[in-house]
Amino acid sequence: MSKKLIWKGEIIWEKHNYNCKYTAWGSWKSPSNPYLKYSWEFLEIFSKGSLTHRGRTRETDLTADEFKEWVYARWDIAPEKDMKKWGHPAMFPEELARRVIKLFTFKGDVVLDPFNGVGTTTKVAKELGRKFIGIDISEEYCLKAEQRLSEVGVKRRKEPERIMLKLFD
């Protein structure tokens, strides 16, 4: 029996990235076709089957202060600055993944990133004691994600601590 995805809400990620030198201007100084630059993105939040996520409350690592701050769905987080190191043009900051994972999962849950890239989500999931699956079609990105995961010092558990699916042409 398949379970539907139910829309829960959205979070506005305010990046404050006002740097204009890397974007098209459209019609420079003319109302003919100005290009609007957005300093935010939306994170759409869905739930599988039910709006309630069942879990053991003692398996949460979300503090009261984090909860109170993060349920206000506008998060001011600077964009990722380390994109050159990992060679990915569209990385998001670890803090963004950390908040989403802590706010919507319990320790031990599985976190799936079907567009894993260089592994920001899977790295943070591992740091937070979640199981994870990261999928990407780029062999280069999968190797970089595995490198990032190997740098996370977490004691090995009985079950596998990670799963990295690689899909190549």
Give the domains, in start order, of the chain with CATH numbers: 5-166 (3.40.50.150)
How much is the pLDDT for 3? 80
- Tell me how far apart the alpha carbons of residues 7 and 110 are, in angstroms, rounded to a whole number: 19
- Tell me how far apart the alpha carbons of residues 74 and 64 are, in angstroms, rounded to a whole number: 18
- Tell me how far apart the alpha carbons of residues 135 and 164 are, in angstroms, rounded to a whole number: 7
Which one has a higher pLDDT value, 106 or 29? Answer: 106
- Tell me how far apart the alpha carbons of residues 106 and 52 are, in angstroms, rounded to a whole number: 12
How much is the pLDDT for 156? 44
For the segment 128-144, the average pLDDT, to the nearest whole number, is 92
Whether the model clears a pTM of 0.75, i.e. scores above it, the answer is yes
Which two structure tokens, joined as six digits, stand for 130? 């979640």
For the segment 107-126, the average pLDDT, to the nearest whole number, is 93
